[in-house]
Structure 1
Amino acid sequence: MANNNKDRKMSVEEAGRKGGEATARNHDRDFYEEIGRKGGEATAENHDRDFYEEIGRKGGEATAENHDREFYEEIGRKGGEATAENHDREFYEEIGRKGGEATSENHDRDFYEEIGEKGGNARARQRDDE
């Protein structure tokens, strides 16, 4: 029986998959880190802030469409645990100070009155539930 595979053309997808598999067999983690670093540097040289904002927005929208609240709670918890393991009290004091400064630059007295009222109401409900 003749081998019909020699007459069959390989699709672009199949060629890409086979090439990727061969590359994975022949290279280690350091190789991928290096080409990723080089690619990141080249991208940074060729694109501005608007480019990164746009791809970040698109990525965020795609993630939101594909994940639910539990997903975000889980990654938030994991991120918080990892941050807590790697940073001390001074780190949290510094980011709190910076956040407070940025917030005060962007909001007026009405904003603080509104969030104060919301916080007070939440505390009152919490006490009522106890």
Structure 2
Amino acid sequence: MAAKEKKGSMTVEEAGRMGGEKVREERGSEFFSEIGQKGGEKVREERGSEFFSEIGQKGGEKVRDERGTEFYQEIGHKGGEKVKEERGPEFFSEIGHKGGQRVRELIEEGKAAEGGSNKKS
């Protein structure tokens, strides 16, 4: 009887959740990825890809204001621990080495470009 009493007094949130669950049952969870992809492409066409950077920036600022900068330190630490658990501590050495090599390449390219521009003067 309790379920019947509740009928008609469903919130919009509850109705949306039930509708989403029904769609997932009928079409599969991949459907949501597909329509999200299409929606994102449409937004990019209409507003440009920089729109996503802008809303990401605003979202990050709101989180910073609400939770503080320490929040990012906490989630970064948790993420690092998870990566270490899944890939091992040597993973960080590998990516650090790759990053260092890339920095060296960029420095060499910059020096070569500088040297080439000095010869033209």
The TM-score normalised by the length of structure 2 is 0.50
